[in-house]
Structure 1
Amino acid sequence: MKGKRPYLWVLAAVGLVLWAVPLALYAKGVFLPTVLWIPLYGVGLILFLGSLGTLFWRACLESDPVLRQHDHTVHDERNTAIRGKASAKTLEILRVVLMAAVVWAAAGDSSRQLAVLLFGILLLLSRVEFGCTLYYRRKM
């Protein structure tokens, strides 16, 4: 657990900078375009609060044996295998539903953009699954 702490502190610092820079510029009267301001502010806030939350959770796990035991219970191999099978079945069902929706959208009177969008989502889903398969093959 301790190996990722410097990484999380760096993420918190980067998030704080990304979050504070738009606010400081706004306070000085420099107005960034909304297209630039919202992503900087949002990404900075998510990085800062997310990494601080993770650091807090890790500190709680290290100090409280009851929480540590609960975390081990939740993340044991059996529960992980059950969640993995449920996720795989959900992915198969989602793929079948998307395929049916693509066929329905292409054959029906709906717009061509809907069929292309659904097909793009189906391709994205397949690519993410393929990438995860490659990642876990290399990891195991």
Structure 2
Amino acid sequence: MESSIMDTRTANHLLYHSIRDLYEGMNMRLNQQIPMLLVERHALNDAIIKEKNVISTGDLPETRGLCLSKELTVASLLKGPRIGGGRSVGMRTRHHKLTRRCQVNAIFVLYDLPRLLTRSVLAYELMHGWLRLHSN
């Protein structure tokens, strides 16, 4: 309990800014200010369900952090329809993710983890954010 990070303010002050500085020192500048929040398990699970667009079966994997981003998926036509019997027949579509300009909305990290573990989870999720922002 002595080394547990219990609130967002402490995590931002002690960890977040030093990890951003470390990335910048490796020429991996984050071009966006990404909000970082410490959250409870249920809030993290709810965010996972919404981000991954899955149905909760009550059996979610052990997750300690999440990088939330916004991307667009559209269906495009592979084969145009034929008109037969007054309706469209034989149309096929394929889903495409359009991520020309990805926006990272937030990073969630589970609260009450030891400082070193919180730091490693945050560094891992910030790397996801950097990759999403620089994947163009």
Name the TM tier (shorter chain).
under 0.3
Counting helix residues as a fraction of each chain, which structure ranks higher? 1
Counting strand residues as a fraction of each chain, which structure ranks higher? 2
| TM-score with structure 2 setting the length | 0.22
**Greater relative contact order (CA < 8 Å, ≥ 6 in sequence):** 2
| TM-score with structure 1 setting the length | 0.22
